[in-house]
Every structure is written in C-alpha cells, then in structure tokens.
Structure 1
Amino acid sequence: MQLLRGRRRPVSGAELARAAGISLRTLYRDIAALQAMGAEIEGEPGVGYVLRPGFLMPPLMFSEEEIEALELGAKWVAQRTDDGLSRAAQSAMAKISAVLPQGRSRTSDDALIVGPPWSRAHVAELKLLRRALREERKLAISYADGKGARTRRVVWPVALGFFESARVLVAWCELRGDFRHFRADRIEAAEMLEERPPRRRQTLQKEWRRSMLTESDSVSAYGRVASPAAKGDSMSKIVFYTNPQSRGMIVHWLLEEIGAPYSVEIQDYGTTIKSPEFLAVNPMGKVPAIRHGDKVVTEAAAICAYLADAFPQAGLAPPTAERSAYYRWLFFAAGCVEPAMSNHAVGWDPAADKQRSFGYGSYAAVLDTLAKALAGRRYIAGEAFSAADVYLGSMIGFGMRFGVLEKRPEFEAYWAGLENRPARLRALEHNEKLAARQAWAPA
C-alpha cells in the first residue's frame, strides 16, 4: 500500500514485486487480498496497478511514539479548530483505538495534555472557510481591521492557518488587488459565492509565497531613487538584523527615512538569534543590530544616532552645535521611557522609597516630564524631524497601542504627526510581509 501511495500512474506488478522484495506470484495474491478488504486498487496482471483516492488504510501496527503523536495531534485539533474538525479528530482516534491490539491503546490516557487555547469568538464559521478552500470558491466577507474600520470584500481563499492565538485566512483581495491575511475573529460575516477564482488555488498559493519578500532592498523593493547621500556613501550596503516582532521596527523606519540600500537578515527567537554567527554580531543575542561595512552597531537608540551621522544628507540630526535637545530626548527615551514602560507593563513600579535607585525615578514622573516636553511641539528636538522623533515616536506609538502608556493629549497629538510618514508606512508594510513570511514558512 505504501508503494502505491503517491503514484498517479499505473505501476507494473514486476516493479512492485521488486520494490517489496517478493515474488510476482505473491504480489498478485496480496493485491487480490487488499482488493477483497476494500482497497480501491485498479488494474490487472500485465497492465499495472494504481491506488485510487479515498481509500481508507487497513489497520497497521503503530509504534508507541506514533500512537502518542497521533493522540497529541488529535487533541490539539479537537481543542483548537472548529466543531467539524474537532469531531473528525475524535472519530479518527476512536477508529485507530479500535484496531490497536489490546493493551496498546493510549487514547484514554491523559499523560499527554494539550493546554487550553487562547479562545476568540468567531462569527464566521471556520467550517465555511475550509469548505471555500476545498471547493475553490470565492468568499464575500465583512471585515473589521485592528482599528475597527469595516470593509466589504470579495476574496479568493488560499490557505487557513491555525496559530496558537489566532486563525488566519490567506486570500487574494479584489478590493486591494493583492494578497492579504485576515484574522478569522475579525471576519464579521462570510458568504460563499458560486463564482470561482480565475486561477487554481495551488497557483495562487505559489504566487502568495513569492509575494513574501526574502530580502529587503529599500531602493529596489519600493521603486524609489536612492538619495545622493545613499549613492555617495563609500561603505557597503547596510545589513539589518531583526525580527518582525521586535524593536527592529524602529530601525526599519529610520532606514527608510535615509533611503540607503539595505538587506534584511531575520533572526528567529530561540534558534538563529542564539547561533554563533549572530552572537558574533551581538553577544547579547538581541535585535536589532546593523553591520555597515566593517562597523557593527547594536541597541536601537545607538543605531538611530549612528545612521543619522553616517548619512548626514538625510537631515536626521541637527547641526552639531544644536544637538543638546536632540541628545537629551533621544537618550531620555532609551534610558527612562522604555524601562519605565517595560516595568509598568508587567505590573511593577518602584516604591516611593526606592525610586532614587532607578534612573527613571517613577513611571508617573517619566510621563509628566515627557508630556510637558511635547506640549505644543511637532518635533521633540527643534523645528525639524530627526532620528530622535523616530525613536521616541516609536515608543509612544507602541505604548499607547498596547496600553502601557497613557493616552494623554500631548502624546496623541505628537504621534498623529508621525505615524503616517511615508517612510514609516513603507517600513510597516515590509515588516508585515516579513512577519507573514516567517509565520507561514514551511515546517
């Protein structure tokens, strides 16, 4: 049976007999026995044999680890998918358990436990999304994005991803004219249409995977002309080490502001980020980091300051004699705002009698100082946008989005003037593609 699986064309009996190490006579007898058991094997001696789709494998002997793997996988599916797949997983394990020798069944054993899922309500049934994928039909969906904006779209389903904290539909969006990723819990309504996509799902999947960038070059990726500063720089292209789910977005934004060519090397948490190759770049095993020629720079604030100086024509640092506010607030963001936010996010703030032991004093003092500095100001270090705004703005935008920084009027007004800068939007778009590529990478 294993020899026939995956073969789409008839295989001669002689070839099967040689591969199985048996005589041709024995093969004919075994084929007949399998057909009597219900195997959809078509063919005859002298012509060849083929296994038709839909055949249910006869009982096989499983090893202990194979049983455990099946059991654990079935439990995961039962808890983290939709009702249809949950019932199918339980039914499959019941069938497997029924044919295992007495004493070998582990399906009622609780030695392997799948933890509770991060539950999110789904208005649109996952079963409908799966059916649209299987039948290759278009979907009409009502979708609410992360900011609550609602749109009506027609999409061509490509794949459905089951992640620990989300279910994500990959589809070609007719509204956007591109591939998009839709969180299933944000699909407020879904209807399967009679119309089919103009291309097969396998073709769309290949196109989708190619659409996820494997390398970033800010000049070629976005069709922009490099600035004279970038073209005139004698050093080699910048290598940008990052992870899409990291502070690397700060540096990504700054790189787009500069317009210099750069390539991206993604470091995966727990694996490549702790590899000897990357530890030679940053012994802390942290991102972001950059390599510019023979120079290596780590720490987001330091990278911002370095790049602003390395590419002066980009105008991201004030003249040297006018940098007091620039240095002050760039490093206030790194030395006070970030640690205050980080500690507050985990529910800890220094007690009143311990505040002098911490460089930032207290969370409240940091926020009051920052709000006062930003009141009525468009940029933090003068009348011009600078690298300090990239770093501080990123902290404020992130903090307010995730609820670790109070939404004070001063902060909201400052961030509103920064979040839609074209360079930041380009970096955000590219970062999302990198995150998608990483999340959907084949196992």
Structure 2
Amino acid sequence: MSRTHRLFDLLQMLRRHRRPVSGAALAQEAGVSLRTLYRDIAALQAMGAEIEGEPGVGYVLKPGFLLPPLMFSPDEIEAVALGLKWVARRTDESLGAAARDAMAKIGAVLPPDLRTRMEDDALVVGAGWERPKQVELSVLRQALREERKLALTYVNEAGIRSERTVWPVTIGFFEATRVMVAWCELRNAFHSFRTDRMLAAEILAERSPRPRRQLMKEWRQTLLTKTVSGPAYPNASSNDITRGNEEFAMAKELIFYTNPQSRGYIVHWMLEEVGCPYTVRVLDFGTTMKAPEYLAINPMGKVPAIVHGDQVVTEAAAICAYLAEAFPEAGLLPAPEHRGAYYRWLFFTAACLEPAASNHAEGWDPTPDRQRSFGYGSYEWSSIRWWGHSGAGVTSPATGSARQTSISRATCSGA
C-alpha cells in the first residue's frame, strides 16, 4: 500500500471515532508501527487536517478538514447500494424516494466499473412483511427532526384505544414491525409504540421539554437497569413506576437465533403473536451455529434460542412458554386455574409427540416389547392421545378461543 493510500485510510479511521482514540489502537488497525503512525499523523496535520491530540493522550479529527476521501472501494459500494435498496423498500415513500435519488446521484459520479457494481443485482433486498398503517412514517420522522411533541391516537395489544401526548426519541426498523420509542406523558415513562397500532398522529407546535439527544441518553440508561428503581423524571408517581416494571420486558433487547430450515419458525410465529420488537440472527448449520460465540449461548449448537436481556432460553416449547409469561399483555397465557392442561399439552408435544413423529417419519418405530423404554410408547398411541384430547380438552379454557392451545400445537409442527 502506498503512503498516500495509507494516509487516507488513517483519515477514514479517525472519521469513525467521535472521541479521542489512542495511537496504539490506530496503529494496530492500520497495521503499522506506532512510530510510523506518529509520522503519518504529523504529515496529515501539516497538510491541513485538523487532528487534535498528542502521543499518550489520543487523537480526534475535527469536522471540516480539507482533504476529500478517496473513491469508494468495491465493498463500500456494495454496502451503500444494499443499504439504499433496503431503505427504498422498507421505509416510507418519501424516504424511499430519497434513497433512490441518492443512488442515482452516487452512480452519476462513479467510474464505469464501480457504477456497474452498484447497479448489479447480486445483492437484493427481499420483500418484507408490510403491516397496514394509518400514520405515515414521514410524519413521525418530521417530529423527530423538529423535536416536537406528537398527539397520538393509539390502540394497545388488548384493543384499548387511548389518546396520548408523546416526545419522540427514535424509530426502530425491525424485520416485521416498526417501533417508535417516546416519552409518554400519559404513563410518565418511556414507551415503545408500534406504528401499525397508531390510528392518528398530529405534530404539535410545542417542542419537547428536553433535546432529543438527551432523551435518547436517558432512554438508553433505562435499558441498562434490571428493575425500575426510580422515576426518570421527578414528578413520576409510584403507580407510574409499577407500570414501568410491567413494561420493562418490552424495553429489554430480544435477540432471536434461528435458521429457516429449523424449528425456529415456531418461535418466529410466537414472537409475532407476542408483538415484541426483536432482532433476528440467522445461523448456518455446521459453521456459525458451532462457533464459540453461539456455543456460549447454546452448548448444543442448535437453534432456536433467544437472549432476552440477561435471560437465555433454548428449545422451542420452553421459548414459547417463556414468551407467554414475559409478555402477559399478549393474552397467550391462560388463567392460573387452567394452566395444568396448558403445560401438560405444551410439553407433551416436545417430550412425546415430536420424538414419536420424527422416528416414524424416518421409518423406525419401537417394537412392542421395547415401547416401555420410550417416553412416547408408540407413534400410534401418542398421536391418538394428542389429536383425541388436545382440541377438546385444552381449547381456550380462559378465553373461548384457541390461542393458548395454538402455542402447544405449534411446538409439534416442527416434527
């Protein structure tokens, strides 16, 4: 690598850091000695780049330096193109149009070889699950930019409609839904609002009492605590703190590890029923599924698994049971007097029905003299017991619907 390219790469490294970064860290990233790095920093400063700092303290690049970046690398072009394609397909119309315009502008100044790479369809963005929406994301984004309050008409998980005034903080784009985090004056706490449950939104003239960056910092602090030990604002009451505890499960990050050709789709269904935001990590059999990072989560190297805050849960039936309890507002957990049948059939599918069906599908069934050695006895017995009793014996003891029973039914569909 020429010294010119090395200097521009060093500038790019400094661009990525908003706070001072040590010379040793920069030298390691650049693959040069610390002495060479000090010489390169001095050369850039002599050329006009405003780099503040000194050896032993760290360096930071001030905005407005005079040296332009080099042309994009092929990997950078692919990253930019894929990101813009995602924005064009998965956001609102105005932001999607802006992404397409940005692609056209970038393509106009690229050399022919990079323009071809940017326009190539080697990397595509698949169609997402689009929920019906009555509030355009552009309205929410405008409120974020202008740091103004929003008047929301919102319907919660139970179908209860409410009028709220909120201070927008950020919008999260998840695989199956979009969520706006805001300080809610009704609850006197931070709350996650799914955009598909917003019936109306009006930008108010009044600005949020605190800058959005400050609100973002305060919201992130709530994600670091295990319990709601005190109000985020002085005028919060004890009842508000209790509501915050009930909603804490929604605030914790939920990571879902899966593979399309696995029982992970059972958990995927459950996550959508629960309606909580989550991040999907797709693992490959034999590679990332057996990597040390994932084995620390599930030593068996199998999916599905979830990490919810500091909780790790594996096995499809166990995850479904955990989610039903962690998100009671979804209404998937029966009343206490009906949970005997609920747990009975939920775990019958995992302990008896699924092994029986898996062995039967592979063409093997235990002989009559060996059936006592298997928890399910025989395929015929376990199947008859399931289909003969699950519908009549468990169907909606709490609500008259089949939602709770569908949890246990789903766990056997992996067979």
Supply the AA of the counterpart residue of 1:103. Answer: D
- Tell me the number of residue pairs that the alignment of Structure 1 and Structure 2 aligns: 280
1:276 equivalent among 295, 303, 313: 295
Contact 1:337 1:360 in 2 (8 A): no
Q: What is residue 96 of structure 1 aligned with on the other side? A: 106
Per-residue CA deviation, residues 9-59 of structure 1 (Å, 9 max, x unaligned), is xxxxxxx996262684xx36x99xxxxxxxxxxxxxxxxx96459x9x967
- Of stretches 208-217 and 159-168 in structure 1, the one that deviates more from structure 2 is 208-217
The residue number in structure 2 matching 1:140 is 151
Q: Output the TM-score relative to the length of structure 2.
A: 0.52
Percent of aligned pairs with the same amino acid: 37
CA contact (8 A) 1:143 1:186 kept: yes
Give the 3-state SS of the residue equivalent to 2:148 in structure 1: coil
Give the structure 2 partner of residue 113 of structure 1.
124
Q: What are the ranges of 5 or more consecutive residues in structure 1 without an aligned counterpart?
A: 9-15, 32-48, 224-241, 249-266, 290-296, 305-316, 318-324, 344-354, 379-392, 406-443
Cα pair 1:273 1:279 within 8 Å, conserved:
no
Contact 2:390 2:405 in 1 (8 A): no
Distance change >3 Å, CA 101–CA 23, structure 1 → 2? same
Distance (whole Å) between structure 1 residues aligned to residue 140 and residue 64 of structure 2: 27
Specify which of 162, 169, 177 is matched with residue 166 of structure 1. Answer: 177
Evaluate the alpha carbon distance shift between residue 117 and residue 20 of structure 1 in structure 2; reply closer, same or farther with a 3 A threshold.
farther
Deviation, 1:104, is 2.3
Map of 2:382 onto structure 1: 359
CA offsets, 1:147-180, max 9 Å, x none?
3211110001010011121111001111111111
Structure 1 residues 398 and 273: alpha-carbon distance in aligned structure 2, compared to 1, 3 A threshold: farther
Task: Tell me how far apart the structure 2 counterparts of residues 216 and 144 of structure 1 sit (CA, whole Å).
Answer: 26
Residue 52 and residue 125 in structure 1: after superposition, are their counterparts in 2 closer, same or farther (change >3 A)? farther
Could you tell me how far 1:332 is from its partner in structure 2?
A: 4.5
Classify the secondary structure of the residue corresponding to 1:21.
helix
CA pair 71-213 structure 1, distance change in 2 beyond 3 A: same
Matched residues in 1 for 2:339 and 2:127: separation?
A: 48
State the match for 2:81 in structure 1.
71
The residue number in structure 2 matching 1:37 is: none
**SS of match in other structure, 1:188:** strand
Q: Which has the larger radius of gyration?
A: 1
1:62-121 deviation line (CA, Å, top 9, x unaligned): 111111111111100000111221121111111211111123213332222111121122
**Kept after mapping to 2: 8 A contact 1:278/1:285:** no
Residues 96 and 402 of structure 1: CA distance in aligned 2, closer, same or farther (over 3 Å): farther
Comparing both chains, which one has the higher relative contact order based on Cα–Cα distances under 8 Å and sequence gaps of 6 or more? 1
The equivalent residue for 1:209 is 220
Instruction: Identify the residue that residue 91 of structure 2 maps to in structure 1.
Output: 81
The answer (yes or no) to whether the contact 1:155–1:171 under 8 Å persists in 2 is: yes
What are the superposed Cα offsets for residues 316-368 of structure 1, whole Å, 9 maximum, x if unpaired?
x9xxxxxxx99998545421599879x9xxxxxxxxxxx96251427642235
Q: Which amino acid aligns with 1:96?
A: I
Within 1, Cα distance between the matches of 2:75 and 2:210? 41
Alpha-carbon displacement from aligned partner over 1:112-146 (angstroms, at most 9, x marks no partner): 21111211222111111111111111100101122
Q: State whether structure 2 residue 354 is matched by structure 1 residue 335.
A: no
Offset, 1:204: 1.4
Q: Distance in 2 between matches of 1:211 and 1:172?
A: 12
* Contact 1:59 1:99 survives alignment (8 Å): no
Q: Please point out which of 43, 55, 68 is paired with 1:21.
A: 43
Gaps of 5+ in 2: 1-7, 20-37, 51-60, 230-237, 239-252, 257-263, 268-279, 284-288, 308-314, 323-335, 357-377
